[in-house]
Chain A
């Protein structure tokens, strides 16, 4: 049955008003009762806007001009929730928090005559079925907008507010005490990576998306290898690059480790396709045909197009599963907050590397020639410390890009192996996420993670003995990074965004 207002099917505008009002309430943390009261009052005052007239005064506020030019549903609803302007009783949120029933909240916040005179319900008589029908309609509208429960539908479907499975364990913040000036874009990216969402912008619109929903789109195209518009394709599957998480034996089959970490599964598919300049954008999906094991739907991770060429270069990736999306709706409030999710073993490659880099400081790990080489990730020598490639390898190992605990060659050897595994490509990374390695072969190596340099410092302005140097964040490497002596390589974004399993990042 569809949503109704006073027994009549709700119109598009009524639904729009309800959506705006409920969304405004959610941003304020309004409970389901407060949301329902807001809708109940709006139906009582103006039939949810249908009787509001040209002024769009849905809640029949005394001075609608205070809320700006009409329609000003969001601001007026906000005032209803907060009890500001001429709305009374401290607002719907406060009333709901002290346990008032829905009909009472609507009346006391509106402070209408019936309420003032007799503490009665001014609105119930407007429904043929009385107050009960009005409350049921309000409840249904709020539930349809994800703000509560209604009999016969899954608890908390798409909801927010006070439902247990969606209560965050802590406030989302912009920056933190150590970085109080963080900007919104960095915050947006950071939390997207933590949740394993795709946070991106394509010049036109800002998207926060998870892999599940991105892959549910209508594909932008079907690319057959024999299609003349497909002029080049590369597809790499590499068993040696897989990292195994657990062992599982199936009857009559070769015992095989399964639950593969998806770091490089497959490593990469790139397709060059002749098309219009705006035919494909990152975030679209395509279906590959006649590509063997790669047949099927893929997410466009990157798309590059020069107007001087007739083709676009698509980098196709497997979509990440969002963290906890598989946990369902009824699993309780045990999902990870952004900061928890960024811990090694539960986050993305870049998140794990950032976390690892943050735990290494020269106060704890001085520069030790050969340090960190016997087992990647473990400081060594006396005192225990890292040298340049040992420190870089420790961070790479946290991200699953280097086998944890294995031996580490010199810087050139590190680069060589990373390249043979297709973990890095020449050139500096840009934007975020970013991981760039800067290598002066046989001399020195350091890295840059999301714009911040990491490696070993000499600590004493070039002193060869490096008595005060050590591993950690670097603040003086910009000149080296632009020096021609250092060759830059970066980890493709498609890898940085993938999930690292616990087995891949936890020291054995």
Chain B
């Protein structure tokens, strides 16, 4: 049987194995899992919980924290889960975790995490396990939901609006809901709604809090996101990768590395093109529905 050989596979044959960073220790992961840093996170969370629980302080709470995990989702609520080693069920038994007469976890326990961000999470669920064999494993899981979500859950037609306005867009309706919640709940800080909706979407409403434009996506209030497309550093990084690919696969780095089939008009690789594609006409600066301009390449959609 003959081996199936292509120029690419021949080239691949010469590629040395690429061990990952964890295996080689090439990256200093100790910085990222620094015990001191983890301890600081745990102490911060423990301190905030002790301050707000309404029950007795648990002085060694930070030492009981066995896991802290953040799960963000692009659809729905994001959560923070904290695993705690509490074989004797001190937290639920001591009054540290309390509920109101309806069985609702109360008073609210809000946690700022990670330190240095404005992210705030509110305790929404606790799950305790009693297992004689569990040993020193975390047996109590506290789930904190995004505080904003928790506040919006408190609002209903009973204490707020039941419907929107005539001739209102969906974006406008959302803004109305948030404004109403801020007003009724006297939120501090206020719930901030960012709408990243295409101007061509019939449901689009320019939000109040910032000037909308395709070129502005203030996700996370990150300055790097204040404009569209690749940053200069990212363009340089992409070029480095292209050159590496060209070396491995024998392609032309000026056209995006080894695969000409993924170039657009021979000027830039597919990923870079797509990432920089805009519906804004580079000539007039105005939004054009369904158009895709590639900066520096296209003058027509």
Contact = CB atoms under 8 A, between A and B. Distances in A.
Contacts of A296: 270-271, 274
Chain A, interface size: which category?
35 or more
A184 B181 contact: yes
Given A181-B157, A306-B68, A210 B198 contact: yes
Interface in A403-443: 430-433
Given A287-B238, A289-B271, A210 B201 contact: yes
Interface string B206-239: 1110011011010111001111111100100110
Interface residue range, chain B: 35 or more
Given A195-B203, A310-B32, A431-B77, A222 B167 contact: no
A305 B68 CA distance: 8
Contacts of A193: 75
A27 B192 contact: no
A197 B197 contact: yes
B196 interface: yes
A475 interface: no
Interface string A272-295: 001111100111110111100001
A29 B32 contact: no
Contacts of B230: 218-219, 287
A307 B228 contact: no
Given A160-B167, A172-B173, A219-B234, A297 B275 contact: yes
Nearest to B121: A203
A203 B117 contact: yes
A432 B73 CA distance: 10
Given A283-B74, A295-B270, A213 B197 contact: yes
A207 B182 CA distance: 16
A385 interface: no
B153 interface: yes
B291 to A, nearest CB: 10
Find the residue from B67, B167, B175, B287 having the highest chain A CB count within 10 A.
B167
Contact of A210 (B179, B191, B193, B197): B197
A352 to B, nearest CB: 15
A309 B33 contact: yes
Contacts of A328: 200, 289-290
Interface of B: 18, 20-22, 24, 26-27, 29, 32-33, 37-38, 41, 67-80, 113-114, 116-121, 146-149, 152-158, 160-181, 191-208, 211-212, 214-215, 217, 219-221, 224-231, 234, 237-238, 241, 244-245, 262, 270-272, 274-275, 277-279, 286-287, 289-290
Q: Which 10 A-B pairs have the closest CB atoms?
A: A203-B119, A228-B21, A209-B196, A185-B152, A172-B164, A213-B196, A310-B32, A282-B72, A310-B29, A172-B173
Interface of A: 19-20, 23, 26-29, 74, 145-146, 153-154, 157-158, 160-162, 165-168, 171-175, 180-189, 191-193, 195, 197-210, 212-214, 216-222, 224, 226, 228-232, 274-278, 281-285, 287-290, 295-297, 299-310, 317, 322, 324-329, 335, 338, 430-433, 493, 496-497
17 contacts: A19-B211, A173-B163, A191-B174, A203-B70, A206-B148, A208-B194, A209-B194, A209-B196, A212-B279, A214-B217, A222-B241, A278-B114, A278-B116, A283-B74, A289-B238, A304-B69, A307-B37
